[in-house]
Chains A and B, each alone.
Chain A
Amino acid sequence: MTDSAAPVSDLDLFDDEVLVDPYPSYAALRELGAVVRLPANDAYALTRYDVIRDALADWETFSSAGAIGFNPMVNEALTGTSLSSDPPAHTRLRAALTANLSPRALRGLKATIEAKADALVEELVAKGSFEAIDALARALPLEIVADLIGFTGHVRDNMLRWGQAAMQVLGPMNQRTAESFPIAGELYAWCSAVTAGDLTPGSVGRGIFEAEARGEIPPDTAGHIIHQYLGAGVDTTIASIGNIVALFARHPDQLALVRENPALVPAAFNETLRFWPPINAWGRRATRDVEIDGVLIPKGAKVAVLLGAGNRDPRHYPDPDAFLVERNPIDHLSFGYGPHGCAGQGLARLEAHAVITSLSRRVERLVVGPEVRVPSNVTRSIEELPVLEVFPA
């Protein structure tokens, strides 16, 4: 064997400054190697596109079981979910999760989502100035997911903080994680107690309970599935819609390209996801000694899959730090890849494509103030984005 020790960096992936702007740090890690040991996080980081994609496809070597979060408490709590299991158990859980979430299940929703997005954008353009995160990036997915699952009353009011906390607790046991656990616990408790009668008749959420009653999914999984819809699908979609507005404002030439050629709408979303992934780092565990690029990752090691570093790898994407919608990076890593590829990506595409379509039809240019960012363990998103002026189309 010619395995050598992995290069080492003193970077802490969950340092406040790194969380707010991880890309310079990722560039330095990529230069050190495709695999870099991070003692601060007790993990081996995968930094380059090819090794990340290969690792995501290889679930036998890079296990999700008890491994996706960066603290033992959250990994324990996620035991038995599709996120945190490997085939064959994963295959069954995933099928139950996606039965109502796959593109074929969501086809009927396209027109409704487009109408909601367009009505919202139309109203905001008419106002001329607004805070884009609350008024658009949060408003749209919260309404769509609430209606989809059939939430009513106080649950709707809690969706944002529950969704944020569910992502935050995946980090290491720092102050953010400690403060978020009680809130994530509220979500978990609610999902453990929810019954079909709590959800609007005809909703997807009600359908999940009906599938459970018919024996199509295992007993007691309906609550888990609702938990994943809320935990994984709210905060991330909010991040990407906020990013769309910010990136179009920063790059009016790129907005102009989409305006001229609406066929670029999916490409613009792919590039937004590549450029600023809602999730930059995700966990796995090595199930065996594995050699990558001549470096050994020992059996049992924690692995940090740096999706955001792979997305900026110049070995795969020329000029990776430029935001260019025409590159259409359909193979970006932001939804993960393979058996654990984002289960909600079909819904995310429906929402984001609707927003991009409407913005590009109705807006020629946006003038924004400085974006406010707050360090967050897992979801990288904009906290506030003041739109000061809209030049309507």
Chain B
Amino acid sequence: MKIVLNRPRCEGHGLCEEAAPALMHLDDDGELVLHQEEIGDADVPQAQAAVRVCPVAALRLT
């Protein structure tokens, strides 16, 4: 599966980083960095958690 970030919508609340620290982090400027777009099956639950907690619905899984 693939994580898709709607960058203009992301405001850097950082809840996704807490839910999925292995998959994404906020950089020093507070911008979200996805470690990889394509994710393996093992990481799907973490990715789903990150999508779920984004308060502005800036992340989705396809």
Contacts and interface: CB of A to CB of B under 8 A. Distances in A.
Contacts of A104: 11-12, 26, 29-31
Residue of B11, B12, B13, B57 with most partner-chain A CB within 10 A: B11
Contacts of B12: 102-104, 346
Interface string A327-347: 000110001011101110110
A331 B53 CA distance: 6
B8 A341 contact: no
A338 B58 CA distance: 8
A138 B31 CA distance: 32
Given A102-B11, A107-B30, A330 B53 contact: yes
A8 interface: no
A95 interface: yes
A126 to B, nearest CB: 34
Residue of B8, B14, B30 with most partner-chain A CB within 10 A: B30
Interface string B19-44: 10000001001110000000000000
Contacts of A331: 52-53
A91 B56 contact: no
B55 A341 contact: yes
Residue of B9, B14, B55 with most partner-chain A CB within 10 A: B55
Please report whether the interface of chain A is mostly helix, strand, loop or mixed according to DSSP.
helix
A103 B11 CA distance: 7
Contact of B56 (A107, A330, A338): A338
Contacts of A335: 55
Interface in A300-330: 330
A95 B11 CA distance: 9
A57 interface: yes
Residue of B12, B26, B29 with most partner-chain A CB within 10 A: B12
Interface of B: 8-9, 11-15, 19, 26, 29-31, 52-53, 55-57
27 contacts: A57-B57, A91-B8, A98-B11, A102-B11, A102-B12, A102-B13, A102-B30, A103-B11, A103-B12, A103-B30, A104-B29, A104-B30, A104-B31, A330-B15, A330-B19, A331-B52, A335-B55, A338-B57, A339-B57, A341-B56, A341-B57, A342-B55, A343-B11, A345-B13, A345-B55, A346-B11, A346-B12
